[in-house]
Chains A and B, each alone.
Chain A
Amino acid sequence: MSLVAFAILAGLILAGALVVVFSSNIVRAAVALAFTFFLIAGLYFMLGSPMLAVVQFAVNAAAIPILTLFIIMMTRSRSVRPASGIFVLVALAVVIAFAGGLWAYLGAAETQVFPVSPEGIGLRLLSVTLFPFEVASVLLLLAMVGAIVLARRVEE
């Protein structure tokens, strides 16, 4: 039962990702990206971490594609030109090698999922990983300031 659900979910995720990569219409690609991320949030639900799922939903599935759409609008780009054929073949070879290389390590057969409560993550986040947490906040601040500075029109 759950395997069926997983299969459907995984299939849709992969399909969405493929659309992102292969669609020549960039708006569709962005929508597919949102769709893929939305389904990945479902994956996190299955992994017993609603917290992660909702964060994935709010940030990756909602905010980031909207930002992407915004940029698409601002730069008035619509279509994606494909790369030259030879390069596509090279990339394909690399990708296959990559997937194959990763495949070699995929023998894990654990079956039991340990769910995690939001409180657990929160406590953990603010105790052991407090320093990375603070660093992340600084990173976000820097990103914010950096984005403003970069995107600001320089007035002559």
Chain B
Amino acid sequence: MSRMPLPLDRHIKPKLVGYDPTRPRPGVERLAYTLFFGSLWALVVVAYGLVPALFRSQGWLDGALGFFFYAVIEALLAFGIAAVVALILIVVLRKYLGKVQERVGPMHYGPAGVLQTVFDALKLLGKEDFAPANVDPLIFRLAPAITFVSAFLMLVAVPVAGGWVMADLNVGLLFIVAASTLGAYGVVLGGLAQGGKWGMLGAFRAGAQLVSYEVPLALALLAVGVYSGSLRLSDIVEHQQGLWHVVPMFIPFLVYLVASIAELKSTPFDLPEAESELIGGFNTEYSGMSFAFFFLAEFVELFLLPALVVVLFFGGWHGPLFGLDPASFAAQALQSFYFLVKTAVWVWIFMWIRATLPRFRDDQLMDLAWKGLLPLALFGLILAAFLRMFVEVV
């Protein structure tokens, strides 16, 4: 990494002795990432393992009040996980983009800039949450909230280890589809509420894109559901005991990958925000906390969609247990570790795609969805049914 001369007059020299912001410090970074990962894992273990175990062992869940408290605590923990994931991913993404683009990325807050997000968040919280004069205030405020909630909703259904899931829905797959559809609300409403041209165009683009890619996404998920014979996500993971779905379900996997990147609205599908064209699109007029919610939601999704890739196609929590009883706490913790590792790899791949590919034109975008992915997804669905009927049963 090259050293860049920084203009001194715009740069406050840090107090720490011997600190040089222009010098990359990979060791510190690695340590910090490890700590991030560890703390996330610890949070997961607490939220999914320790707290339910505690409540169950004390018998508090039988009473209404105990259940209420349990629900509240779990919700808070889930929110905590989402917040932590977002905070971590923001800085990781910024650092990673910097590395791809041959710069150092944020360097000033925390060792090698690893605390950057904290300060970002503080800055956003401190800013005035400004609403332009001609907006509909209710819708304007509602939009970011809906966006964040929809991202957050998906987290509830994701199983992180055997038995470790907040809501083990028997229609989990459909729930995922529904929740991801909900994500389109925030964008469309956000664009619509501003009343400006950029917002309107962004909302148009986002609506068209999200609704279009929803179709192959749902079909790909359906193919997985057909193949594994259940809509329950934990069943789907169990079904991959011998063979990960990525092998037999390769076509739905590809479809899902492309469609989920599109759902994420990241490059090469970032037309709704497209800074160079739309000045931010649907979030042009947002600032302060409202903007932070959009931002958070985006990064929670950047975690959840790869997590779903892992759940659906890459064996979820499966990994070597070294003879541990799968029902034991230790085994479940290990499984959650595997799950997080796989997810981290996929998050990296998503970032990689985001960092390298150029943006589509909007007609290309639509062509890809309707003429490319949709037939492919339908084929995948038929393939799944075929495999289910004739291959697996035999």
Contacts and interface: CB of A to CB of B under 8 A. Distances in A.
A and B touch in the complex (CB under 8 A): yes
Interface of A: 1, 25, 27-28, 31, 34, 50-51, 53-55, 57-58, 61-63, 65-67, 69-70, 72-73, 117-118
Interface string B11-38: 0000000000000000000000000000
A25 B140 CA distance: 13
Nearest to B210: A66
Contacts of B188: 66, 69-70, 73
Interface string B179-217: 001101100110011000000100110011001001000
A126 to B, nearest CB: 13
Contact of A31 (B189, B207, B214): B189
B140 to A, nearest CB: 10
A27 B142 CA distance: 12
A19 to B, nearest CB: 11
Contact of B178 (A1, A62, A72, A73): A62
Contacts of A63: 181, 211, 214
Interface majority SS on B: helix, strand, loop or mixed?
helix
B175 A27 contact: no
A31 B142 contact: yes
A1 B208 CA distance: 42
| Residue with the highest number of chain B CB atoms closer than 10 Å, among A34, A67, A73 | A73
B4 interface: no
B181 A62 contact: yes
B231 interface: yes
Interface residues of B, number: 28
A66 B170 CA distance: 26
| Residue with the highest number of chain B CB atoms closer than 10 Å, among A53, A55, A58, A72 | A58
A156 B136 CA distance: 40
20 contacts: A27-B192, A31-B142, A34-B185, A50-B171, A58-B174, A58-B181, A61-B178, A62-B181, A62-B185, A63-B211, A66-B184, A66-B188, A66-B207, A66-B211, A69-B192, A69-B207, A73-B192, A73-B203, A118-B170, A118-B171
Nearest to A51: B171
B139 interface: yes
A28 B142 CA distance: 10
A62 B184 contact: yes
Given A1-B64, A73-B200, A117 B170 contact: yes
Contacts of A65: 185
B177 interface: yes
| Residue with the highest number of chain A CB atoms closer than 10 Å, among B138, B178, B185, B231 | B178
Contact of A25 (B136, B170, B211, B214): B136
Contacts of B378: none
B376 to A, nearest CB: 19
Contacts of B193: 27
